[in-house]
Every structure is written in structure tokens, then in C-alpha cells.
Amino acid sequence: MPTYEYICTECGERIEVYATISEKEKGLKVTCPRCGSAKVARIFSSVMVIGGSKGGGFNPGSTSCCGPTAGPGCCG
């Protein structure tokens, strides 16, 4: 189940919401559990990708990259 991350713009609390894609498309009503505010902003965090035994995943020890060498995109 996807995790959606938000931050409360009133108190700074980070909020994780677990919802199906269908629930997300219908519209999530996110409120801060600390202060009760509905003033929240979506945070777009990084995604971890794990490759199978045949490769195709991120290889942190790789020196060959198909994307920028200073960031994500390595596919060694």
C-alpha cells in the first residue's frame, strides 16, 4: 500500500498516510494528529528500489550510470 507523506504548515508535524491509489484519487482528507489543522502540504520523498537476482535495480557500488552521476539514475 502506498505511503503518502505530508507536513503540517501550522506546527511542522510530519504525517504518513497509508492509502490505496483508489483512495488517493478520491481525495484524502488529511489533518494533523498533533494540532488538528487541515493545513498540510504533500512531501515528495525519495523512493527505494530493490532489484531482483537478475539485476535491473539500483547498484550503489556501480561506476557506470545511465543518468546523472551526481544523483539518482544509476543502473549498473
Q: Where are the domains of the chain?
A: 3-43
pLDDT of residue 1: 83
Torsion of CA 52, 53, 59, 63, to 10 degrees: -140
Please give the average per-residue pLDDT across 10-27, as a whole number: 94
Residue type, 16: E
* Domain at 3-43: CATH code: 2.20.28
- Residue 53 clears pLDDT 70, i.e. is over it: no
Q: What is the pTM of this model?
A: 0.57
Distance CA 46, CA 41 (A): 16
